[in-house]
Structure 1
Amino acid sequence: MAWLVSLVGVGLVMAALRDLFHTLWHPTRHAGLSRLVMTGMWRLARRLRARRRVVGLVGPLAMVTVVGLWAAVIILGWAIIYWPHMPGAFTLTPGSRAAQQPALLDSVYLSLVTVATLGLGDITPAEGWLRLVSPLEALVGFALLTATVSWVLEIYPALTRRRVLAIRLALLRDSAPTTQQLDSVAGALLLDSLATEVVRVRIDFTQYAEAYYFHDGEDHSSLAAILGYASALAQRGQAAQRPDVRLTGDLLANALEDLAGILDQRFLHTGGPSATVFAAYAADHGRSVSQP
């Protein structure tokens, strides 16, 4: 029976590690803990019609919540592993009052100390297998800290790329390039560079899906609000006289269609064309699609 309880703890630890792995290093369409938490918090904020400042906190707060849940599940899982063997399989320092406490409380305490790599030493494993398992928890705690830092360092560059594209499109809209200016070598280079940036954003939504739940802020930095203008630029490029401009116009249009497919598949589920997906994306972020 004791081993069955310990196996439950092993299952909890493995579930947390699996979710961490799929969130950071092998993103999939399967809804893990991080996706469920972020989706739930985002929908709650939208349903309550919270102010933009509040909605803007959903992404960071959801990341903190997910990391806290990972840590809690790992600590609880290892505590359950220790619990059936506490205190008989452990050595207590002289004068320690650990044995006078409930076994579960001592197990949670030991798990917290070990995952934080404090190494206080007042409760130490005595049996051979526990002497191997306990250091593994310290390694997992170090991996969790490293993963948290890596997650932050991955998400925020993706947000920067998205906002840079949005601001660039907003500046182009304000500049109002003429048909003659767009139907030139410079226009072809412009459309090609925009297509490249759209593809990068598309990859970011694939690799770092959690970035979707970060609010972009003002309209000029909101990709959700400005994508309509990108579509208009693509159409103008496709209708140009120069073949190189038409080619890059097709490239931008295909990149936008691919982006719409990812947004619809992973987040919006409209089943409609690109214009419908972009309108739903803007509405989900509290914006309206910018008209050319």
Structure 2
Amino acid sequence: MEWLVSLAGAGLVMAALRDLFHTLWHPTRHGGLSRLVMTVLWRLARHLRVRGRVVGLVGPLAMVTVVGMWAVTIILGWAIIYWPHMPGAFTFTPGSKAAQQPALLDSVYLSLVTVATLGLGDVVPAEGWLRLVSPLEALIGFALLTATVSWVLEIYPALSRRRVLAIRLALLQRADPSAQQLDCTVGATLLESLATEVARVRIDFTQYAEAYYFHDGEDHSSLAATIGYAADLAHSGQTARRPDVRLTGDLLAGALEDLAAILDQRFLHTGGTPTEVFAAYAADHGRGLTPS
């Protein structure tokens, strides 16, 4: 029975590590529990129609919640591993009152101290197998800390790329280039660079799905509000007279179709056309598509 309890604890630890791996390091970055937490928080904020500033906290709050969920699951999992063997399989510092506490409390304490790599030494594994597996928890705790820092450092450059594209589209719309102005070498270069930026954002939504749950703020920096104008530019390029402009217009249109497919497949589930997907994206982020 003791080993069954320990195996249950090991199962909790493996579940947390699996979700962490699929969220941060798997090529598709599609963690189950983490995505569920983020989706629930996002839908709750949208359902309650909270103010823009509060909505802007959903992404960071979701990341903190997910990291906390991983940490609590790992700590409890290791505590359950220790619990059936506490206190007989452990050595306590002379004069320590730890052995007088409930076994579960001592197990949680030891797990928390170990995962935090504090190494206080007042409770030490005495059995051979525990002495081997206990340092693994410290390694997992160090990996969790490293993964959290890496996650933060990765997500914000992706958000910056998305906002730069949104601001660029807003500036282009303000300049309002005519079809004749786009039908030239400069127009072809412009459409090609926009297609490249859209492709980068599409990859960001694939590799950093949690970026979807970050609110972009004002309309001029919100891709949800300005992405419709990119479709207008692509259409203008496709109907131009110069073949190089038509080619880059097709490239931009294809990049937008790929972006719409990712948004619909992973977040929106409308099954509609790119125009309908972008409209749903704008509505989900509390924005209206920028009019043509």
Q: Quick one: distance in 2 between partners of 1:30 and 1:257?
A: 21
Who is 2:245 aligned against? 245
Q: Quick one: distance in 1 between partners of 2:31 and 2:196?
A: 29
> Which blocks of at least 5 consecutive residues in structure 1 are unaligned?
none
* AA in 1 matched with 2:229: Y
Who is 1:224 aligned against? 224
**CA offset at residue 197 of structure 1?**
0.2
Who is 1:123 aligned against? 123
Who is 2:180 aligned against? 180
> Which blocks of at least 5 consecutive residues in structure 2 are unaligned?
none
Q: Quick one: distance in 2 between partners of 1:179 and 1:69?
A: 52
Structure 2 residue 84 is matched with structure 1 residue 84? yes
- Normalising by the residue count of structure 1, what TM-score does the alignment of the two structures yield? 0.99
Q: Does the 8 Å CA contact 1:165/1:223 hold for their aligned counterparts?
A: yes
Q: Quick one: distance in 1 between partners of 2:244 and 2:52?
A: 42
Q: Quick one: distance in 2 between partners of 1:233 and 1:13?
A: 50
- Normalising by the residue count of structure 2, what TM-score does the alignment of the two structures yield? 0.99
Q: Does the 8 Å CA contact 2:22/2:29 hold for their aligned counterparts?
A: no
Q: Quick one: distance in 2 between partners of 1:228 and 1:94?
A: 70
* AA in 1 matched with 2:247: L
Who is 1:10 aligned against? 10
Q: What are the within-5 Å matches in structure 2 for residues 1-292 of structure 1?
A: 1-26=1-26, 28=28, 32-292=32-292
Aligned-pair identity (%): 83
Q: Does the 8 Å CA contact 2:23/2:29 hold for their aligned counterparts?
A: no
**CA offset at residue 258 of structure 1?**
0.5
Q: Secondary structure at the match of 1:71?
A: helix
Q: Quick one: distance in 2 between partners of 1:157 and 1:200?
A: 11
Q: Quick one: distance in 1 between partners of 2:150 and 2:32?
A: 18
Q: Does the 8 Å CA contact 2:56/2:217 hold for their aligned counterparts?
A: yes
Q: Does the 8 Å CA contact 2:75/2:108 hold for their aligned counterparts?
A: yes
Q: Quick one: distance in 1 between partners of 2:31 and 2:272?
A: 23
* AA in 2 matched with 1:265: Q
Q: Quick one: distance in 2 between partners of 1:249 and 1:21?
A: 38
**CA offset at residue 267 of structure 1?**
0.3
**CA offset at residue 235 of structure 1?**
0.1
**CA offset at residue 29 of structure 1?**
7.5
What do residues 232-259 of structure 1 show as CA deviations (whole Å, max 9, x unaligned)? 0000000000000000000000000010
Q: Does the 8 Å CA contact 2:30/2:209 hold for their aligned counterparts?
A: no
Calculate the aligned-residue CA RMSD, in Å. Answer: 0.8
What do residues 114-159 of structure 1 show as CA deviations (whole Å, max 9, x unaligned)? 0000000000000000001110000000000000001001110000
Q: Quick one: distance in 1 between partners of 2:31 and 2:147?
A: 19
**CA offset at residue 288 of structure 1?**
0.3
Q: Secondary structure at the match of 2:49?
A: coil
Q: Quick one: distance in 1 between partners of 2:270 and 2:120?
A: 55
**CA offset at residue 28 of structure 1?**
3.8
